[in-house]
Structure 1
Amino acid sequence: MNTSAPSSEIEGLSVSVVVYRPDPAQLSETLASLAAACDALRAARPSIPVDLFVIDNGGLPDITPSLDALRGCRMTCTIIAGQGNVGYGCGHNLAIERSASRYHLVLNPDIDLDRNAFIKALDFFDVHSDVGLLTPHIGDAQGHIQYLCRRYPTLLDLFVRGFLPTGARRFFARRLARYEMRDVINERDIVWDPPIVSGCFMLFRTDVLKKLAGFDRRYFLYFEDYDLSLRTHQVARVAYLPAVRVLHHGGGAARKGSSHIRMFAASAFRFFNRFGWKLL
């Protein structure tokens, strides 16, 4: 179902959001923040085209009011539906294949963007031509930073962070701090080339993303962002830019039930088989 055709301009920005039975209120909030950020971008760069792709893997609610608001910011909106639940990465790939923009944002439906996020991100890209992927300051609803940049994980790191109760994690605090790059990630400093960044907000130069052929289709859910991050370093630089700010409402696999734990384990196995196993 296409609500409108995407722009063919190479100078623009495209955004893909994959949804599967999303929370309607949260999705509306995410799209409202996207509309505000695009409205601010239009004020700074009036001629830039912006295209939104919503990939419906199942259970998409009526988002007509949200799309109307986005069209009011002169965005084109395309809903990609009918493919079934093809997974997170494959869903985004459906939009990446269609994108003809200069920049492409992989966005979760549980992210709220700061109004000036796109302005600051594109200004940074203009100055740093070697950067192919940008990750923002990611906060939570309580105003705390989420440390979602990563060093290469071990199996123990993943188990502790993903499955141990909060009280038990304190015994591994130093280990987790290193894995989560707490020694360098903060609210002020740019960090160059963090090994792994979160898939909840990945802003790419589209030519870099296409050179990598998007996400690896072998991951259904989890670790597709780890895989893509590591492959990006082969062709471009990655930057953590805290001036770009977003709010993240997501949670870990262990809090989503046994099916998610099984998917997490299967994807972890695939990831380590490809890039190398580290136990401790």
Structure 2
Amino acid sequence: MNTPGLTSVVVVLADSGPFTRECVDHALASDVPVEVIVVDNGSTDCVPESLDRAYAGDDRVRVVYNRANLGFGPAVNRGAAQARGERLLILNPDCLVEPDTIARMSAHIDVHTGIVGAVVCDNEGHPDPASRRRDPLLARALRTKLGLAGDAGIDIQGPIPSGAEEVEIVSGAIMLIPRQVFDRLAGFDETYFLHCEDMDLCRRARDAGYRVVLSGDVRVLHGKGGSSRHRPVFVSRHKHRSMYLWFRRHDPSARNPFVRWAVWLGIWSHFLLKIPGQLMRKPR
């Protein structure tokens, strides 16, 4: 049974590094009631165990051990299954929220709202274009890749408004979702192991009649994934697989078998071409 007024913060780990402790501390400092559910995908860096010890006396924090890397979406779903809040905040372990972040994002929720995102920024305060995007349909993706997009590409041009803006996609680094909406959508699609599951959830929310909203007045520091830096080829492989999966499920052009084959070939060729550079940059 959901607890009125409570927000359940779900944080997924996969060798995400010590920055996670700061992420949890910031979430617990929220000026609204929260619980934090940390879901570990088989980390070997001992961070989940250290969090378990550090918050042993705080019943607002729970650590869930999967003992294997199930993928991001499946891990969120398992955390959500244990959540008691009427709202879920999906939060990357390298994101830092401010005390009023959840309250300000919640202010944009009404009966028609399915997902609320925030403006994720790098260490210098520059907004990530992925904070708000359009569906990566094939025509849009090609125009963006060729530099011909303008206002018809994936990225949304122009300044970010200071209030709510209805968009097609918000970043999965931070998503606030009413529990009843999450349950109606059956959570994240678990066939996505990593990447694009946020785009899929936003698309399915819109298809179900809900609005996806960017909270343009909320900025969140995003440190850009420690897990990705340690396993770049692994992450890239799943990212490219998820890109094709999203295309097959949501892009009308995928109905054409020739186009479908060409997109498959293009995606996996791009993956292979990136491997040498990723191996050279891989941390030792």
Instruction: Establish whether residue 264 from structure 1 lines up as the match of residue 248 from structure 2.
Output: no
Instruction: Establish whether residue 227 from structure 1 lines up as the match of residue 220 from structure 2.
Output: no
1:16-31 pair list within 5 angstroms: 16-24=10-18, 26-31=19-24
SS in 2 for 1:137: strand
Q: 1:159 & 1:259 partners in 2: Cα distance?
A: 25
Return the match for 2:112 from 130, 133, 137: 130
* AA of the residue aligned to 1:153: P
TM-score by length of 1: 0.78
Q: 2:61 & 2:227 partners in 1: Cα distance?
A: 30
Gaps of 5+ in 1: 1-6, 42-47, 162-168
Gaps of 5+ in 2: 254-262, 267-284
Q: 2:125 & 2:133 partners in 1: Cα distance?
A: 20
Instruction: Establish whether residue 121 from structure 1 lines up as the match of residue 105 from structure 2.
Output: yes
Give yes or no for contact 1:150–1:197 (8 Å, CA) kept in 2. Answer: yes
Cα deviation, 1:10-49, whole Å, max 9, x if unaligned, reads: 431101111001121x21221222122x2x22xxxxxx4x
Partner of 2:121: 139
Which structure would you say has the larger RCO, counting Cα contacts within 8 Å and 6 or more residues apart? 1
Partner of 1:9: 3
Instruction: Establish whether residue 55 from structure 1 lines up as the match of residue 39 from structure 2.
Output: yes
* AA of the residue aligned to 2:205: T
Q: Over the residues paired in the alignment, what is the CA RMSD in angstroms?
A: 3.1
SS in 1 for 2:107: helix
Cα deviation, 1:186-232, whole Å, max 9, x if unaligned, reads: 1524211x111111101000100010010001011011111101001
* AA of the residue aligned to 2:88: H
Give yes or no for contact 2:120–2:222 (8 Å, CA) kept in 1. Answer: yes
Q: Bigger shift: 50-59 or 103-112?
A: 50-59
Q: 1:143 to 1:160 in 2, by over 3 A?
A: farther
1:1-280 pair list within 5 angstroms: 9-24=3-18, 26-36=19-29, 38=30, 40-41=31-32, 48=33, 50-59=34-43, 60-61=46-47, 62-64=50-52, 67=55, 71=58, 76-125=60-109, 128-148=110-130, 149-154=132-137, 172=147, 174-175=149-150, 178-183=153-158, 186-192=160-166, 194-233=167-206, 234-250=208-224, 257-276=232-251
Shift of residue 94 of structure 1?
0.2
Shift of residue 65 of structure 1?
7.0
Cα deviation, 1:111-161, whole Å, max 9, x if unaligned, reads: 011221012122333xx3321210112211111111211111145866998
Q: 2:26 & 2:152 partners in 1: Cα distance?
A: 31
Give yes or no for contact 2:205–2:212 (8 Å, CA) kept in 1. Answer: yes
Shift of residue 250 of structure 1?
1.1
Give yes or no for contact 2:96–2:222 (8 Å, CA) kept in 1. Answer: yes
Q: 2:226 & 2:65 partners in 1: Cα distance?
A: 27
TM-score by length of 2: 0.77
Give yes or no for contact 1:208–1:235 (8 Å, CA) kept in 2. Answer: no
Give yes or no for contact 2:73–2:188 (8 Å, CA) kept in 1. Answer: yes
Q: 2:149 & 2:171 partners in 1: Cα distance?
A: 21
**Count of residues paired in the alignment:** 248
Shift of residue 100 of structure 1?
3.1
Q: 1:262 to 1:175 in 2, by over 3 A?
A: farther
SS in 1 for 2:171: coil
* AA of the residue aligned to 2:89: L
Q: Identical aligned pairs, as a percentage?
A: 26
